[in-house]
A and B are shown apart, each in its own frame.
Chain A
Amino acid sequence: MRKLHFDPRTKLLLMIFTILSATLSPSLYYASGLVLLIMLFGFACGKPRYSLLGALTYTVFFALTILTRDFLYGTLQTMLIAFLGLVHKVYPCGLMAGIMIGSTKVSEFMTGMHRLHVPRKIVIPLAVMLRYLPVIREDWGFIKDAMQMRDVSPSLGGLLAHPGKTAECVYVPLMMSASKAADELSIASVTRGIENPEPRTCLIQIRFGAADALAACAFLLYFIAGMAVRGGWI
């Protein structure tokens, strides 16, 4: 499938619709419809693997919820329903955020934010943060090796068997590398003029297109439909 290119501002708008739809979701089926919609958007953005995996994981939660609702009772049911209720509100937003971050280039993001007149003081730290995420993934590779050599298993089993020790092995090196990486990233960006107040240009032209309009309409309509159900109009 050919991947579509969305304007970073559109993605931000879709994110807002997603948050609204998820928080005001009238039913479980509505929330799962939202996840399906986000999955389709993920496909369009060229993130099929991530989107599919995200949707499948959601299916597990969905099934759990149905089972809890129909076959459990008492305190356990109340507890689980409360927890799962939260999952259904947060999960779609998380999935959407993942697609957004994964498919937006830092320079695009900055240019988009600049067009929206978001002050640099907010944009620059956000950009550094966006850029820092993949560093963590690289770090994790090293840390995993280091843990194995010290006979600490870097797996879920290891975490359950020795929660304290395993957590320590992950966060201590991660903290060390985070402070260093954040400093170096900031230095690399200020020495290349990231603070320039003049309008920033971008190699990749960002502009609204048909795809943006289509996606925005789809999410807007879905949101309105949710409101309608909630208001009892349908």
Chain B
Amino acid sequence: MIEFRHVSFAYPGQSEDRLQDLNLTISDGECVLFCGRSGCGKTTVTRLVNGLIPHFFAGELTGDVIVDERYIAKLPMYQIAEKVGSVFQNPRTQFFNVDTDSEIAFGIENEGVPPDELRLKVDGAVKDLKLQKLQGRRIFSLSGGEKQKIAFASVYAMNPDIYLLDEPSSNLDVDAIEDLRKNLIRIKRQGKTILVAEHRLYYLKDLVDRIVYMEQGKVRGIYTPEQFLSIPAVQREKMGLRAMDLHSVKPLPKPAVQALPVLDIRAMALYYKKQPVISGINLRAARGEIIGVTGHNGTGKSTFLRALCGLHKGCTGACLWDGKGMDSKQRLKSSYMVMQDVNYQLFAESVEKECCFGIKNPDADIVTGTMKELGLYEYRNRHPNTLSGGQKQRTAVAVSMICRKEILIFDEPTSGLDFDGMLQVSRLLSRIARGGKIIFVVTHDYEFISAVCSRVVHFDSGTVQEDFAVNQKNLGKLQDFFILGQRRDDIEGAETGQKNYTEIGRKYAYEAKREESNWSSAQMGGKG
């Protein structure tokens, strides 16, 4: 049993949205979802239970958090770890070993489990969670979803009574989320207590017993799944929440793009270390289009986009702009990728300098104009690192506009974002598209695609499998890909058939798909 008794907490220097007077009792075997806008305090709640507050994050803490009659604040971290297992958002920095077996054993090694039992427990976890394929692999060669599975297995091997998951799905693709859901079903059947802090709600629909909605550090409502599902969409969006039932989300009508295609890709094929990754890509795109790029990780969609940017060498076929051929250097000049972790692409000490960075004789009017247009003007003297995730993203976009890039590529711009955040990104993309750019956006976010994409290009089995407009007519296709959780409910064995990874694609997933990091975790310290 977990009890929160009048718990209040503030991080050092935090004045707004501090956690206030939390009173809650969670009984054994319950699955509780904490949701709300970014910074509402849901992550803080999980940290109170796994002891990171107060043992790792100091701050003003009052009240008591009691797990099975023991006070968390008075237990050392390693004793809490035996009771409470935690899985986090960023798979990249969640593992401590370089090979999968050692990683699964990491927690139980720390507990000092005798060596002969270690092997048994690791094998048990591998068997239960169906990880045979991942055994004995180098962790760096795994995809984000696979890393997350190993992190989960490591906690599973420790067999804690309570599982804590802090935005576990943020960096996962559809399949990996489905696997996560299956793992959660398994531990729930074992009678474990599960606490999840999440933005994405749909995969938890049939799992949760209670939903705690938080706002500005306070609990605003506690719902059963039935009550929660009956909240009207308008109300839910006002609460800043993602949909719990994706079936109810329908694509918004998009303005028709009248322009003729300017970008023409013909018979493009891509190689990685002389091995074919994808081939037979034929694609035409007009100014103002927002094209969603979907597909499982490892199907080569990121390779394609890196090639489109001129970053990937080893590419055959033609790429034409207005009828003229573009080699990789010209493509590098005319395109720009906004990375999932924007921090990698911000170099200067202020937003304004960032906008001029690397440009000879920048035009001051254009710089100012662009900053004003993107709502960055008032932050022009701030260091990019002090900005919020969304502002950083807009700074990167500003750079691309000032450099007169024609093709913009976004790599999972909405991972880990709440409804408001997603809406802001949608508006940003629509605005750039209206400015006559061509936008490609890699995403696993069905709600985002419905809100903003005019067209979807779906990669599978090493080529463009489908290319269709996002409208009511093609709704079935979209939902088939994105809502498999509900569709394939409890069909055992279906999980392996769905994947189309090739071994090379898998290897490539690590090199090219640099997807696992996420800017929203950059705000860890400040985030509630």
Contact = CB atoms under 8 A, between A and B. Distances in A.
Interface in A137-177: 138-139, 141-143, 145-146, 148-152, 165, 168-169, 172-173, 176-177
Interface stretch (A26-34, A64-72, A189-197): A189-197
Nearest to A102: B98
25 contacts: A105-B102, A138-B514, A139-B344, A142-B339, A145-B309, A151-B358, A152-B358, A172-B347, A173-B345, A183-B524, A185-B96, A187-B88, A188-B96, A190-B52, A190-B81, A191-B50, A191-B51, A191-B80, A192-B81, A193-B78, A193-B81, A195-B76, A196-B111, A199-B112, A202-B109
Contacts of A197: 78
A24 interface: no
Contacts of A113: none
B155 A180 contact: no
B514 A141 contact: yes
A193 B110 contact: yes
B447 interface: no
A164 B385 CA distance: 20
B99 A192 contact: no
B95 interface: yes
Contacts of A185: 93, 96
Given A173-B344, A187-B56, A200-B110, A141 B81 contact: no
A141 B514 CA distance: 8
Interface string B76-119: 11101110111010101111111101100111111111110011
Interface centre among B109, B336, B337 (most CB of A within 10 A): B109
Given A193-B77, A193-B82, 20 more contacts: A107-B109, A138-B140, A139-B344, A142-B341, A145-B514, A148-B332, A172-B347, A173-B344, A173-B347, A177-B517, A180-B343, A185-B93, A187-B52, A188-B96, A189-B96, A190-B77, A190-B81, A192-B107, A198-B111, A200-B110
A205 interface: yes
B339 A106 contact: no
A177 B344 contact: yes
Given A180-B522, A191-B77, A192-B110, A150 B343 contact: no
A147 to B, nearest CB: 8
B158 interface: yes
B214 to A, nearest CB: 21
Interface stretch (A74-82, A127-135, A209-217): A127-135
Contacts of B522: 176, 180
Interface in A85-125: 105-107, 111
A172 B118 contact: no
A201 B90 contact: no
A190 B56 contact: yes
B140 A134 contact: yes
Interface centre among A151, A165, A193 (most CB of B within 10 A): A193
Contacts of A143: 344
Contacts of A149: 309, 311, 332, 335-337, 345
Contacts of B385: 176
A55 B309 CA distance: 38
Interface of B: 50-52, 55-56, 76-78, 80-82, 84-86, 88, 90, 92-99, 101-102, 105-115, 118-119, 122, 140, 151, 154-155, 158, 306, 309-311, 332-333, 335-337, 339, 341, 343-348, 357-358, 385, 399, 403, 511, 514, 517, 521-522, 524-525
A204 interface: yes
B112 A200 contact: yes
Nearest to A175: B385
A169 B399 CA distance: 15
B113 A201 contact: yes
A12 to B, nearest CB: 19
B344 A134 contact: no
Interface centre among A127, A184, A197 (most CB of B within 10 A): A184
Nearest to A184: B93
Contacts of B333: 151
B92 A135 contact: yes
Interface centre among B113, B339, B344 (most CB of A within 10 A): B344
A146 B344 contact: yes
B301 to A, nearest CB: 16
Contacts of A23: none
A107 B311 contact: no
A60 interface: no
A176 B321 CA distance: 37
Nearest to A146: B345
A141 B102 contact: no
Contacts of A192: 81, 85-86, 96, 106-107, 110, 154-155, 158
B392 to A, nearest CB: 10
Contact of A172 (B85, B113, B346): B346
Nearest to A203: B105
B78 to A, nearest CB: 4
A191 B86 contact: yes
- 5 interchain residue pairs of minimum CB distance: A193-B81, A184-B93, A146-B345, A196-B78, A192-B107
B341 A106 contact: no
Contacts of B311: 145, 148-149
Given A146-B339, A192-B81, A201 B109 contact: yes
B102 A107 contact: yes
Nearest to A174: B344
Contacts of A105: 97-99, 102
A181 interface: yes
A10 interface: no
B143 to A, nearest CB: 13
A184 B154 CA distance: 16
A134 to B, nearest CB: 6
A20 B92 CA distance: 38
Contacts of A189: 96
Nearest to B99: A105
A191 B52 contact: yes
Contacts of A181: 92-93
B524 A184 contact: yes
Contact of B343 (A177, A186, A195): A177
